[in-house]
Chains A and B, each alone.
Chain A
Amino acid sequence: MTSIVPSPGLPTTATPECPPACSVDEILSRTPIATLVVDDSLCICQVSDSYLALCACSREQALGFDLYHFIDKNVPAVMPRADSVRKAIHTATTARKAYVLDDILVEDGSFWSIRAVPIFKSETLLYIVLEFENTTEEHMRQAELEERVSTNDTFRILVETVKDYAIFMLNPKGNIATWNTGAQLLKGYTEEDIVGRHFSNFYGLEDRLADKPGKELVVALRDGRVEDEGWRYRKDGSRFWANVIITPVYRGETLIGFSKVTRDLTERRAAESRLLSAYEESAKLKSEFLANMSHEIRTPMHGMLSALTLLIDTGLDTEQLELAHIIEESGGVLLQVINDILDYSKLSSGCFSISSDVISVPDIITSVARSYQATLPPGTRLEVELDSRLPSSADGDPLRYRQIVQNLLSNAVKFTESGCVSVHAKLLKEEEDSYTILTEVTDSGIGVPLSAVGSLFAPFMQCDNSATKRYQGTGLGLSICKSLAELMGGQIGFRPNPDSKGSVFWFSAKFKKLKRLEQLDELEAKLQSTVVTPPPLPSVSFKRVASKKRLLLAEDNHINQKVMLRMLKGLGFEHIDTALDGVQAVALAKKEPPNYDLILMDVNMPHLDGVGATIEIRDAGLQVPIIAMTANALKGQAESYLAKGMDDYISKPVDRQLLLKTLLKWIQCTISS
């Protein structure tokens, strides 16, 4: 509040008994409002100092002169001119009451108003008081206000007429306050239906139970905006996939509500999913095609290779034999390529699964290493280092684990011309119900150029893509290993060999622990398993292969020996030697030249048991597959046979179909290698 301070120049309370003189002339000349007073003949009879100051005139230039004459002559163009004044006077005198002429635009763009007050004495006009005011500021404010009103109108019309978006306001509690055409079209409610009801009406039951609408308002208040995609429901109960944006609206500091914009994305979403499924479908078809083709090629390949094995055994001359071996070797490579493609397409079409079985990492590594020992180039040695904490058995996929180790080791051997290849497995982490095992294959070979490291595990990538490739392969091996390792809950990676040139390839895999009981059950199941469904009889081609193969059967019980011989002959084997104990078996196996394609070895035999015999045979450097036959119900022993150098085992009494299956595995093995 401004306090009223008495002006020192004016007598106020000094002489209360004598009121101050009130001179009309004084009032008129000192009024801050620019004022002119004219008489009935429009001759200026009084003028305020404020007016004179505005038009920079002296009192003498004004008093007694004709109003219009004075204005024309002295008043600058930035003030109202005669025509405006004339108009104001005319209207005021005609109507005989005060009249305000507004919005007079003058030369410099400012606005003025003229207030003309006619003063009558009965019917006679005596004076006219003219007040001039610069109203530019007020005019601007007004204009702005008008403009704002019209903008609001524009927006309102825009919002109301938008058809594709539902745009409406909620009050602070979330009740609907406004409704547009788009909202009506999209949600099916008319304005009368919905205004005043809560916006959670558009949500599904589940969302409402979870108080999603309420939470959205809270988030909108906190973050200043919330955006959501989800199902919303129309009045008729049908639903649509919506994108929703809620923004709080404030006036000053006060929340007055929320604006809500809803878009129908159903069509877009459907189009997206159509596109996606079309893509997936085509990728799947491609993978299936690859898988089918590989499978179809594999079958005749096996036939060719089996026939070739028979051909080689027919006594070819040196030149023919050399050619046959070239066919055999190329066939082997081709088969590997086809197998890789088959695995790859299965992996990429997602129909590849890891099976659950008893896995013994030490056994697998020992066995894989043994199979590569023979193929090592001279000057290269192979070392195996196994962490003593590795579990002897766990729950995993032994075939797939073996496949990775085999692949990495075969790469290492392929690229190492001299030096050392080593396999190192260790227990990385043991948790309550799982083991994580790290397996590393280190070589001193040619290594990987830095530029190729990034794409090592990508499909179809090979470091050497030149036309004169020195090394064969599809470039799928490592990418398959990567997928397999990931399926086993692990990772795969590469680093340069820190000790010399060469590479270190490593992978981790996670195996579940076997519960003690399960461990026994699994083993027992393995030992005692009998085939439920009748597997196919040995094919003619197997019989033909079998007839060329030489077997050694070591079995001390002559009844069992007799039965086994009969069974093996039934499968097509014609060349079978028998041994009654381990000593005989070793002697027969060590004869030069090596005589057998496979040895069936009873475990318990007098003089030297099957395990001892196996150790002696392996010590003599023989790689022939040895299959243990055991009636031993003592738990956990079968595993140890494998660790001692046996390749497989079969439980007694020997089931014919199981025997066939096992023999197929190892006889096929020798065909393709």
Chain B
Amino acid sequence: MVLPDAGDSLDAATFEQILEMDDDDDRDFSRSIVFDFFQQAEGTFNKMDECLAKKDLAQLSALGHFLKGSSATLGLTKVKDSCEKIQHFGANKDETGTNDLDDDVCLKRLKTTINQAKQEFSDIEKVLKKFYEEA
């Protein structure tokens, strides 16, 4: 386990796969990917806030899916799970994606989940930054 601090926020196997793509002597590649992701995540959260204000559910679902893809690639399990929920709520579904929900319920849940995702992101961000500072 490379990052014991990350706990269940991080899927070790997936993240290690990214680390293996690094050249032998540095962590340049993975560092660029991880820091790119920080930017992407912050940008996406900002867009989410805007859409939440406009009550644009469909766009929220798309954003959830978008960030789910990259967080999954890095193995950021908790962020990925929350993004998937955002994707579902935005599509008027419950968190498992099976039952229909109305707009109000979804907006309320989206708000909570987006805040949760932000928190999870900032937690893992700290761990990862520390990892790359030491590296």
**B21 close to A530 (CB less than 8 A):** no
Question: Of residues 410 to 463 in A, which have CB atoms within 8 Å of B's CB atoms?
Answer: none
Hey, which chain A residues are within 8 Å of B40, CB to CB?
557-559
Hey, which chain B residues are within 8 Å of A143, CB to CB?
none
Q: Does A563 contact B (CB under 8 A)?
A: yes
Question: Of residues 577 to 614 in A, which have CB atoms within 8 Å of B's CB atoms?
Answer: 602, 604, 606
Q: Does A566 contact B (CB under 8 A)?
A: yes
**B75 close to A653 (CB less than 8 A):** yes
Hey, which chain B residues are within 8 Å of A556, CB to CB?
66
**B97 close to A631 (CB less than 8 A):** no
**B17 close to A559 (CB less than 8 A):** no
**A567 close to B21 (CB less than 8 A):** yes
Hey, which chain B residues are within 8 Å of A631, CB to CB?
65, 68-69, 72
Q: Does B6 contact A (CB under 8 A)?
A: no
Among B14, B62, B70, B84, point to the contact of A559 (Cβ < 8 A). Answer: B70
Q: Does A654 contact B (CB under 8 A)?
A: yes
**A559 close to B21 (CB less than 8 A):** no
**Nearest B residue (CB) for A559:** B70
Question: Of residues 621 to 635 in A, which have CB atoms within 8 Å of B's CB atoms?
Answer: 631, 633-635
In the complex, A566 Cα to B74 Cα: how many Å? 14
Among B14, B32, B69, B75, point to the contact of A560 (Cβ < 8 A). Answer: B69
Question: Of residues 1 to 50 in B, which have CB atoms within 8 Å of A's CB atoms?
Answer: 13-14, 17-18, 20-21, 29, 32-33, 36-37, 40
Taken residue by residue from 58 to 100, chain B's Cβ proximity to chain A (1 for < 8 Å, 0 otherwise) reads as 0000100110111011110000000010000000000001000
At the interface, is chain B mostly helix, strand, loop or mixed?
helix
Q: Does A647 contact B (CB under 8 A)?
A: no
Hey, which chain B residues are within 8 Å of A560, CB to CB?
69-70, 73
Hey, which chain B residues are within 8 Å of A635, CB to CB?
97
Q: Does A661 contact B (CB under 8 A)?
A: no
B77 CB to nearest A CB, Å = 10
**A559 close to B33 (CB less than 8 A):** yes
Among A606, A634, A655, point to the contact of B97 (Cβ < 8 A). Answer: A634
**A558 close to B36 (CB less than 8 A):** yes
CB-CB under 8 A for A562 and B36, given A530-B13, A631-B68, A652-B69: yes
Hey, which chain A residues are within 8 Å of B20, CB to CB?
656
Among A559, A652, A654, point to the contact of B36 (Cβ < 8 A). Answer: A559
**A652 close to B21 (CB less than 8 A):** no
**Nearest B residue (CB) for A606:** B62
Hey, which chain A residues are within 8 Å of B14, CB to CB?
653
**Nearest A residue (CB) for B32:** A562
CB-CB under 8 A for A653 and B33, given A563-B21, A570-B21: no
Among A562, A652, A654, A655, point to the contact of B33 (Cβ < 8 A). Answer: A562
A339 CB to nearest B CB, Å = 34
**B97 close to A633 (CB less than 8 A):** yes
**A652 close to B72 (CB less than 8 A):** yes
CB-CB under 8 A for A566 and B97, given A560-B70, A631-B68: no
**Nearest B residue (CB) for A634:** B97
Hey, which chain A residues are within 8 Å of B68, CB to CB?
631
In the complex, A652 Cα to B69 Cα: how many Å? 7
Hey, which chain A residues are within 8 Å of B84, CB to CB?
633
Hey, which chain A residues are within 8 Å of B69, CB to CB?
557, 560, 602, 604, 631, 652
In the complex, A556 Cα to B69 Cα: how many Å? 10
Among B17, B29, B65, B73, point to the contact of A604 (Cβ < 8 A). Answer: B65
**B72 close to A563 (CB less than 8 A):** no
In the complex, A604 Cα to B64 Cα: how many Å? 12
A567 CB to nearest B CB, Å = 7
**A652 close to B97 (CB less than 8 A):** no
B50 CB to nearest A CB, Å = 17
Residue among A557, A653, A656 with max Cβ neighbours from chain B (10 Å): A653
In the complex, A606 Cα to B62 Cα: how many Å? 9
CB-CB under 8 A for A566 and B65, given A530-B13, A652-B72: no
Q: Known pairs A559-B70, A653-B73. 11 more at Cβ < 8 A?
A: A530-B13, A556-B66, A559-B73, A562-B36, A570-B21, A633-B97, A652-B72, A653-B17, A653-B74, A654-B73, A656-B20
Could you list which residues of chain B lie within 8 angstroms of chain A, going by C-beta atoms? 13-14, 17-18, 20-21, 29, 32-33, 36-37, 40, 62, 65-66, 68-70, 72-75, 84, 97
Could you list which residues of chain A lie within 8 angstroms of chain B, going by C-beta atoms? 530, 556-560, 562-563, 566-567, 570, 602, 604, 606, 631, 633-635, 652-656
- A-B pairs with lowest CB-CB distance, top 10: A559-B70, A653-B72, A653-B73, A557-B69, A566-B21, A560-B73, A557-B70, A653-B14, A631-B69, A631-B72
Sample of 15 A–B contacts (CB below 8 Å): A557-B40, A557-B66, A558-B36, A560-B73, A562-B32, A562-B33, A566-B21, A604-B65, A631-B65, A652-B72, A652-B73, A653-B17, A653-B75, A654-B73, A656-B20
